Amino acid sequence: MKKITSKDLRVCYLNFFKERGHAIIPSASLIPENDPSVLFTTAGMHPLIPYLLGQKHPQGNRLADVQKCIRTGDIDEVGDNSHCTFFEMLGNWSLGDYFKEQSIKWSYEFLTDPKYLNIDKNRLAVSVFAGDEDCPKDEESASYWRQCGIKKDKIFYLPKKNNWWIAGSTGPCGPDTEIFFDTGKPACGKDCSPACDCGKYLEIWNNVFMQFNKQSDGTLIPLAQKNVDTGMGLERTVCVLNGINSVYETDVFLPIIKKLEELSKLNYGSSADVTKAMRIIADHIRSAVFLLGDRVGVTPSNVDQGYVLRRLIRRAVRYSNFLGLSKGDLIKIAALFIEIYKDVYTELDDNQNKIIEELNKEEEKFLNTLISGEKEFLRVVNKLEGSLIDGTTAFRLYDTYGFPLEMTKELAKERGLSVDEKGFNEKFAEHQKLSQDTSGQRFKGGLADSGQATTLLHTATHLLQASLRKVLGDEVAQKGSNINPERLRFDFSFHRPMTQEEIKKTEELVNQAIKDSIPVVCEEISIDEARKKGAIGLFADKYGQTVKVYTIGGVSMEMCGGPHAANTNELGRFVITKEQSSSSGIRRIKAELIREE
């Protein structure tokens, strides 16, 4: 195998696919554009959903990228060898062009050819879809793997839970074939396969063959164009290529671990607890740096993306206390991550001051919260009848005050008390299920369905942003949106609550544009030309060199990839139902369109 750094793997991968006719597109934001199914970009497919559904991509039908991703469903697994909250996903895409055969053969070539990764083919195993009532067994993919030289006993047929990909509950989906590295560990039994958790097989690449669009009733509708969506985890692949057991020992984490050793005067690997704490701090601060430094940007809050960010920072603070770090040491870790990544993700350098400032504020808030938590613990003890702290109380200390169960147990033990761990775990399981529901499927409906009501509301957001900028000034910039058939939600930068007069004036401007029956005109031009014309666009970087610009008379001009009405007169009456704070420096408007007979 070829020893390789993270930087070299990014370059090698993109060059491989560029030589095979793929346009290289930049990473999209970690905050999905008009995708209500998830809070974060959890896979490379999210920014490309309109193109997977048939819309023409400005860069063509063969694409490759390195996409920033955040996944929080496994946050409690972080600290082991492989789980990360933030990660980079290498991906190549076929939008109605090549399909299974070419995708599989290129994957095999990139992995095994001495010019590229030079992995021994005997160390590879693959899985394919076993078939069910929705879709037949994927013998086609298996046959291509055999043609490449993968032995029959290294091809595993697995069910939908293992070999079927869909980003949310609806949308583009299909069978996939996953590629695994055989670590050399002994099989856990006669049924050992990549579906096991025994550690023998480590997934490094996933090729999704998108053939269907899943409807809300569960129906699978064949897509007009068949697509290929692949994902290779950068960190895990670097692990494999360098013969390393943990992602935390790769080149992007080693300087961080060394710095943590220096700050804590403890040695990584000296104990399981120290190792876990250093890994969690490294992972969570890296995630926080990328969320705070994102071009869209998130700040800590009690809702949605801001809640997840706050949880990550506070968890890092808890573990920094365990290591004996001083206040401000996490800032040093953040600054080191910015230095490591700034050449690849220039937005981190651009937003360095914001990253440091928000981390400082959140650490200080949480340290005060921990003090409050200790006081609450003493109140619990003083009121306690008997010697057992019940699970509900222990969980409240965790959820409200940030006390991990271990801290509550330790404080209880000092006083001759015990904690109902089973009750705590039951409450925690309920919380975890709710968290997965809210972070993975927080919003229902939305632009992913491209329905008429949603399309009209999406068009209204263009008019809303233009009107806000006219009423409040150019300080206003879109910071996110969530649109479903019933209402739009629009987040924007502004330093104070709007007055009732400003809200009324904004409504009036939007409704005047609707009343004026203005055509919505779309043109595809270069991004430089779009900017010269004065077009604004929150997610312009994801489109590459050619963008779609939607112009609504002299009112609005935006770079955008979503669906739009043909004329503003289709929209109906625009009503702002709520204006509120979203997070520090970010306001939120909710609005509806009322069809008047």
Q: Which residue has the higher pLDDT, 437 or 494?
A: 494
Residues 82 and 111 occupy one common structural domain: yes
In a domain, 544, yes or no: yes
| DSSP single-letter state for residue 439 | H
Averaged pLDDT for residues 567-573:
91
Q: Would you place residue 448 in the very low, low, confident or very high pLDDT band (cuts 50, 70, 90)?
A: very low
Last residue of a domain, one of 371, 394, 416: 371
As a whole number of angstroms, the distance between CA 43 and CA 229 comes to: 10
Q: Which residue has the higher pLDDT, 465 or 561?
A: 465
pLDDT given at position 115: 93
Question: What pLDDT, in 10s, does the model give residues 38-77?
Answer: 788 888 887 888 888 788 898 999 999 999 999 887 777 7
In a domain, 559, yes or no: yes
Averaged pLDDT for residues 579-586:
82
Averaged pLDDT for residues 286-308:
87
What's the one-letter identity of residue 301?
A: S
Residues 223 and 263 occupy one common structural domain: no
> The whole model's pTM is what?
0.70
Q: Which residue has the higher pLDDT, 128 or 454?
A: 128
Q: Which residue has the higher pLDDT, 283 or 396?
A: 283
In a domain, 562, yes or no: yes
pLDDT given at position 444: 42
User: Residue 91 in 3-state DSSP?
Assistant: strand
pLDDT given at position 83: 82
Residue 36 in this model has a pLDDT that exceeds 70? no
pLDDT given at position 440: 40
Q: Which residue has the higher pLDDT, 368 or 19?
A: 19
Residues 284 and 146 occupy one common structural domain: no
In a domain, 1, yes or no: no
In angstroms, what CA-CA distances link 366 with 352, 361, 402, 432? Answer: 21, 9, 8, 21
**Cβ distance 279 to 18 under 8 Å?**
no
In a domain, 379, yes or no: no
In a domain, 541, yes or no: yes
Question: What pLDDT, in 10s, does the model give residues 303-336?
Answer: 778 888 988 998 899 889 889 999 999 999 999 9
Residues 230 and 345 occupy one common structural domain: no
Task: Tell me how many domains the chain contains.
Answer: 4
**Cβ distance 119 to 202 under 8 Å?**
no
Residues 153 and 236 occupy one common structural domain: yes
Q: Would you place residue 346 in the very low, low, confident or very high pLDDT band (cuts 50, 70, 90)?
A: very high
Residue 215 in this model has a pLDDT that exceeds 90? no
Residues 45 and 114 occupy one common structural domain: yes
pLDDT given at position 168: 66
As a whole number of angstroms, the distance between CA 473 and CA 456 comes to: 25
Residues 521 and 582 occupy one common structural domain: yes
What's the one-letter identity of residue 237?
A: T
Last residue of a domain, one of 194, 215, 242: 242
Question: What pLDDT, in 10s, does the model give residues 84-102?
Answer: 899 999 999 999 999 999 9
Count of alpha carbons within 13 Å of 101, Cβ hemisphere only? 3
Residues 207 and 269 occupy one common structural domain: no
Domain with 233 in it: 6-242
CATH code for the domain of 106: 3.30.930.10
Last residue of a domain, one of 208, 242, 276: 242
Instruction: Of 8-17, 78-87, 166-175, 489-498, give the range with the top mean pLDDT.
Output: 8-17
**Cβ distance 284 to 78 under 8 Å?**
yes
Q: Which of 304, 335, 303, 300 minimizes the C-alpha distance to 315?
A: 300
In a domain, 346, yes or no: yes
Q: Is 285 left (phi over 0), alpha (psi -120 to 50) or beta?
A: alpha
CATH code for the domain of 487: 3.30.980.10
pLDDT given at position 545: 64
Share of the chain above pLDDT 90, in %: 54
**Cβ distance 50 to 251 under 8 Å?**
no
Residues 323 and 339 occupy one common structural domain: yes
Q: Which residue has the higher pLDDT, 35 or 575?
A: 575
Residues 413 and 514 occupy one common structural domain: no
Residues 122 and 161 occupy one common structural domain: yes
Question: In the chain, helix, strand, coil percent, each to 5?
Answer: 45, 20, 35
In a domain, 248, yes or no: no
Residue 122 in this model has a pLDDT that exceeds 70? yes
Residues 438 and 460 occupy one common structural domain: no
As a whole number of angstroms, the distance between CA 115 and CA 93 comes to: 22
Three-state SS letters, 351-412: CHHHHHHHHHHHHHHHHHHHHHHHHHHHHHHHHCCCCEECHHHHHHHHHHHCCCHHHHHHHH
| Least-confidence region, from 17-26, 200-209, 276-285, 362-371 | 362-371
